[in-house]
């Protein structure tokens, strides 16, 4: 039986995972923004937790079937950061009352770090299950 070599990176899957996570973050953000008395304070707590929690399974998904599961988790988290930055820049130019400074609050910087950490943890889980290394 011929052993197939596992792909090292899954660029398309890492991008798709980040897009899906960012899309999952939109509804709770809209709901909180429209219902909470102080939406920024609530979002500062909820968004980092959601980023971390959602990027763990995203990291697991992108890591499965690769020879570099942890690296794929990291790449998914980085894609998440890049997508957020791109969306922020687009909204800054397209929405008249959009405040660019509110998008770089400490909680959102934390959320970006937690995207990568969540992806790494997802990659570690897959690596431990499969015996793969980085």
3-state SS, one letter per residue, for the chain: CCCCCCCCCCHHHHHHHHHHHHHHHHHHHHHHHHHCCCHHHHHHHHHHHHHHHHHHHHHHHHHCCCCCHHHHHHHHHHHHHHHHHHHHHHHHHHCCCCCHHHHHCHHHHHHHHHHHHHHHHHHHHHHHHHCCCC
Band of residue 102 on the pLDDT scale cut at 50, 70, 90: low
Q: Say how far apart CA 99 and CA 65 lie, in whole Å.
A: 41
Asked whether the predicted pLDDT for residue 19 surpasses 70, the reply is: yes
Task: Kindly state the average pLDDT of the residues 56-80.
Answer: 94
In the chain, where the domains are located: 11-130
Q: Mind listing the pLDDT tens digit for each residue in 25-41?
A: 989 989 998 999 998 89
Band of residue 130 on the pLDDT scale cut at 50, 70, 90: confident
Average pLDDT, the chain: 87
pTM (2 decimals)? 0.85
- Tokens representing residue 47 in the block: 């968004």
CA–CA distances in Å: residue 117 to residues 36, 49, 54, 81:
28, 12, 11, 12
């Amino acid at each position: 039986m011929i052993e197939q070599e596992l792909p090292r990176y899954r660029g398309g899957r890492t991008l798709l995972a980040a897009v899906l996570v960012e899309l999952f973050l939109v509804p709770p953000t809209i709901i909180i923004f429209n219902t909470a008395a102080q939406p920024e304070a609530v979002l500062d707590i909820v968004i980092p937790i959601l980023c971390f929690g959602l990027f763990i399974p995203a990291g697991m998904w992108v890591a499965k079937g690769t020879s570099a599961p942890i690296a794929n988790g990291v790449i998914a988290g980085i894609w998440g950061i890049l997508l957020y930055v791109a969306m922020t820049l687009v909204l800054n130019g397209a929405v008249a009352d959009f405040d660019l400074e509110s998008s770089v609050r400490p909680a959102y910087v934390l959320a970006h770090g937690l995207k990568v950490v969540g992806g790494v943890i997802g990659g570690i889980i897959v690596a431990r299950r499969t015996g793969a290394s980085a």
